[in-house]
Amino acid sequence: MEKRVVITGLGAISPLGKNVNESWDGIKNKKCGIDKITLFDITGFKCTLAGEVKDYNPAEYLDLKQAKRLDRSSQFAIISAREAFNDSKITTENTDFNRIGVFISSGIGGIQTIEEQCEICNAKGYNRVSPMFIPMVIANMPAGNVAIDLGLKGESIAIVSACASSTHAIGEAFKTIKEGTEDVILAGGSEAAICKLGIAGFENMKALSTSEDKNRASIPFDKERSGFIMGEGGAVLVLEELEHAKKRNAKIYAEVIGYGATSDAYHITSPSPDGEGAARAMKRAIENAKITAKDIDYINAHGTSTHLNDMYETMAVKTALGDYSKNVMISSTKGNTGHLLGAAGAIEAIFSVKAIEEGIVPPTINYKVKDEDCDLDIVPNEIRKKDLNIVMSNSLGFGGHNASIIIKKFVD
């Protein structure tokens, strides 16, 4: 018999705050965590805004030696994983650490370290490149470093699927626990790509908004949207087999009940026409959850604020949910955080869990101009109080990677 999978811990560091409560309060207060880039000199750049983690000092969380050996992306992973793990109250007395996995993803990995060490190499020569360069930059190291930091000895993997990475991580963790391979998995993502190289790459692709008004830069579903705004941070959820969680009297936030993943097989950056691939991922998740479209109360959309993504995701929801799509609430929290790339799905999963817990639907903030191509109920600008039973969260990545997870209010 398939096992049930529940969520027993949450951890985050984001442009809205340094933990889950601060980040969620930012959503409830309709805070925009986007502002002028401070991590590097923006002279000559068209994109001047980002969702940075504010006033971040690694010394608050890590000793000096450890911090120097970790790219910022791994630092964020460790910080959010520690919070989630402490929140879960898992100990060696109540859990076998050999059966705790770590599925933490990053879309890009240590790009800040790549930029820094390339500059050193060019200026001072190959022999001055740090011996820690490779362990700091490879995309599996947020997962590896979390496993090392917490002593977790189950399966440890990093799924790299661009902006769908951490939703895939949560979905694959769900599957792994359902089949009984692990009792607990820390699942999520981290990203720290706000650097000259990262911004230049996306800017030259014409993917980023060049608005200088932070309240009109990341504007999902708005007709004047012109690109996404990069964010950074980490987010981790503790997924646990239900009977294991009950045995140790764990607090249960919600239950994961469905997961669907597909490929567009269409283009390296553009979604497939009409959101066909995303629609199939949603349908798979609904089928996997053994529910119907009408059971979904709210969708936390990928909603990047790019022209094609928001239009095609709207079409995908209509295809997946049929006539019911006009009744479902769907919003994007990327107006608050910017786009956390590989960590986006995990922070949005946490917001989905909190929405269920508190009966609050996050709004799509800074929305002004209606787009006839994005005509669903996007919960514009104002929070909605609503008892939520089932929530879907979508993530869509470059390369045509699509992932949807379904989370339900827990009932024993």
Catalytic member of 32, 163, 195, 374: 163
267 is catalytic: no
Catalytic member of 244, 302, 374, 401: 302
Nearest residue to 147 via CA among 161, 157, 135, 137? 157
163 is catalytic: yes
Dihedral pair phi/psi, residue 364, rounded to 5°: -90, 105
Q: 186 - beta bridge partners?
A: 102, 238
Query: Cβ atoms within 10 A of the Cβ of 196, count?
Result: 18
Nearest residue to 109 via CA among 347, 302, 342? 342
What tokens were used for 127?
A: 């022999």
Catalytic member of 32, 168, 244, 339: 339
244 is catalytic: no
Catalytic residues: 163, 302, 339
